[in-house]
Amino acid sequence: MRLATWNVNSIRARVDRVTDWLARADVDVLAMQETKCADDQFPTMPFAALGYDVVHHGHNQWNGVAIASRVGLEDVQLGFDSQPAWEAAAEARALAATCAGVRVWSLYIPNGRTVGSPHYAYKLEWLAALRDNAQKWLADDPQAQIALVGDWNIAPTDEDVWDIEVFKHSTHVTALERSAFTAIVEAQYADVVRPFTPGPGVYTYWDYTQLRFPKRQGMRIDFILGSPALAQRVTHAEIVREERKGKSPSDHAPVLVDLN
């Protein structure tokens, strides 16, 4: 089984790129983030033409998460228990489905905007609630195959950004955000991609401005975290950097794992 995650940065603008890659990469399950559309606007037909069922959670032109699967979509869940909300706004940031026995969570963690802002506090609260739920899922079933995948908006180590000095006063790299990410890892959810993609300069996101991509000035902020039962099945992982190239790309690259 090949499982992938991709912040597509508007699925309506990039559906052809996404479905073309799905066919070429032979992906079984794709979790998407930042779809930027309501449920009735999601372009399901191109996915259906390739044999994928799709479930989507979105309200408007912001946020939005989806899962496309050709190996089944069962027990769909919108959000997790006690998931924080941003004031009164409806946000679509978490979606789960069971695909061939794997519980896949497509996650779009809040950005945080600026350190110390209400958005930053919301991000930390959101991550804490996710950790609590993730711990409970494994306590209920230690053998559960769970994949927490998506755009985490956190660079867990200094080598996950092209120049830590540029980011030292920004979100994504603060001690509190990194601690929140580490807390989920310590809840027995391993970063199953990094062992196959080690070293500095290995990124998943490059800003559109200032030629960040050709200059290799990026960040590693997209991750697949696997429960123990899932992690032991991983035989290969990669960041598909080539998909950041070409006409009208997303600013993120897909990340994938193969499971035996």
Delimit the domains of the chain by residue range.
2-259
Residue 89 has what pLDDT?
79
State the residue for tokens 């755009």.
Answer: 151
Give the strand pairing for 94-99 and 74-78.
Answer: antiparallel
Cα–Cα distance between 213 and 123 in angstroms, integer?
27
Mean per-residue pLDDT, 99-117: 98
Q: How confident is the model at residue 205 (pLDDT cuts 50, 70, 90)?
A: very high
**Per-residue pLDDT tens over the stretch 211-236:** 999 999 999 999 999 999 999 999 99
Mean per-residue pLDDT, 23-36: 98
Q: Is 63 annotated as a binding residue?
A: no
Please list, residue by residue across 143-166, b when 16 or more beta carbons sit within 10 angstroms of its beta carbon and e when fewer do: ebbbbbbbbbbbbbeeebbbeeee
Q: What's the gap between Cα 243 and its chain centre?
A: 16
Residue 87 has what pLDDT?
81
Q: 80: how many CB neighbours lie within 10 A of its CB?
A: 20
Residue 16 has what pLDDT?
97
Give the strand pairing for 190-191 and 146-151.
Answer: unpaired
**Per-residue pLDDT tens over the stretch 149-167:** 999 999 999 999 999 999 9
User: Diameter of the chain by CA atoms?
Assistant: 48
Q: Which CATH number is 2-259's, of 3.30.700.30, 3.40.50.620, 3.40.710.10, 3.60.10.10?
A: 3.60.10.10
Residue 90 has what pLDDT?
80
Told to judge if 252 belongs to the known catalytic residues of this protein, a careful annotator would answer yes
HSE-CB at 231 with a 13 A cutoff on CA atoms is 17
Q: Is 207 annotated as a binding residue?
A: no
**Per-residue pLDDT tens over the stretch 9-25:** 999 999 999 999 999 99
**Per-residue pLDDT tens over the stretch 240-251:** 999 999 999 999
Q: Which of 52, 108, 120, 189 is catalytic?
A: 108
Cα–Cα distance between 67 and 21 in angstroms, integer?
15
Cβ contact 192:3 at 8 Å:
no
Told to judge if 151 belongs to the known catalytic residues of this protein, a careful annotator would answer yes
